[in-house]
Amino acid sequence: MTQASSLPDVIRDIQRLAPDVVRQAAAFPSSILADVAGRRGALHGRIQPLSPSMRFAGTAVTVEVRPGDNLMIHAAMAVAQPGDVIVVDGKGDLSSALMGEIMSQQCVALGIAAVVIDGAVRDSEAIRELGFPMFAAGLNPNGPTKSIAGRLNHPISIGGVTVNPGDLVVGDADGVTVIERHKAESLIPLAHEKVKAETARIAGIRNREALRPAWLEAALRAAGVIREGETL
C-alpha cells in the first residue's frame, strides 16, 4: 500500500504559513506575486470575486467535492482556523451552488479569510453586502446536496493549478494566485523589488522620460523581428 492510499480522506491537521508571511503577502497584488513566482500559480480567469473590492491572503485548506455536493465544505469549515482560505475543487460545475449566504455568515463568524470555489455559489447580493471574500466560477440559484464523500486537505487541482494544503493563497480584483508554502517567504523580497521597479517605470512614463521599455529592441532582435544594429 502506498503512502498516499493510506492517508485518511479527512486530514485535520496541516502545516500553516507563519502569520507574518501572510501579513506581508497581503500587501501585494495577486499579479505581483504571480510574476515573481515565475508567471505561474494564477487560477483560470473564470474564478472571480463576487465584488472587485474583495481581497484576501491566507493559508489554503483544500477541499475536493463531487459536483453539486457541499458535504466536504462543511467539514472544512469545521476544522478550519482563523485566517485560513477554503479552496474547493468543485470540478467547474455550475449546475448548482455549493455555498450561499448562510455558510458565508458562518465563515465570517469562524474567522475564515476567504473561500475560492471552482464552481457556483448563490445569494451573491447578500454575500457582497456582507463583504466576505467569495471567489467563484459562476452563480446558480439551485442548492447543493450534502451526502457524497470527498476529501479534505489533500492536493487538489483548481483552475489549472495544483494547490496543496498550507499553500499561500492571495486574491483580489484580478483573480487568485497560489504560491507553494515552502516558497512563500522567499518571494516577499522579490515582490518588494518588483513593486519598486514598476513604480519607477510608471514614473518614467508619466514624466515622459521613458516612454519605451528599455528591453524592447533587444527582445525584438532576439525574436528576429529587427536585425542587429537596426532600431525602431
**Mean pLDDT in residue range 133-151:** 97
How large a percentage of the chain has pLDDT more than 70?
98
CA–CA separation, 199 vs 191, rounded Å? 12
Query: Residue 51: what pLDDT?
Result: 98
CB 119 within 8 A of CB 93: yes
Query: Residue 1: what pLDDT?
Result: 42
Q: Going by DSSP bridges, is the β-strand pair 56-64/168-172 parallel, antiparallel, or unpaired?
A: antiparallel
Cβ neighbours for 110, distance < 8 A, ≥ 6 positions apart: 77, 80, 82
Distances (CA, A) of 211 to 19, 197, 202, 206, 223: 40, 15, 9, 8, 21
Query: Residue 3: what pLDDT?
Result: 55
Domain boundary assignment for the chain: 3-181
For 160-181, the DSSP string reads TEEE-TT-EEEEETTEEEEE-H
Query: Residue 5: what pLDDT?
Result: 59
> Would the pTM of this model clear 0.95, i.e. be above it?
no
* One-letter amino acid for residue 95 of the chain: S
Query: Residue 77: which region, alpha, beta or left (left: phi > 0; alpha: psi -120 to 50)?
Result: alpha
- For residue 114, list its beta bridge partners: 85
Q: What is the DSSP letter of 17?
A: P
* pLDDT digits 0-9 by tens, 150-163: 999 999 999 999 99
Closest CA to 18 of 59, 62, 55, 57: 59
Q: What is the mean pLDDT of the chain?
A: 95
Here the cell at position 64 is: 475536493
* pLDDT digits 0-9 by tens, 168-194: 999 999 999 999 999 999 999 999 999
- Residue 4 reports pLDDT greater than 90: no
**Mean pLDDT in residue range 11-20:** 96
Question: Of 51-55, 119-123, 137-141, 225-229, which gets the smallest average pLDDT?
Answer: 225-229
Query: Residue 213: which region, alpha, beta or left (left: phi > 0; alpha: psi -120 to 50)?
Result: beta
Query: Residue 46: what pLDDT?
Result: 97
Pick the CATH number of 3-181 from 3.40.50.300, 3.50.30.40, 3.30.428.10, 3.30.450.40: 3.50.30.40
More confident residue, 48 or 7: 48
Cβ neighbours for 223, distance < 8 A, ≥ 6 positions apart: none
CB atoms within 10 A of CB 213: 12
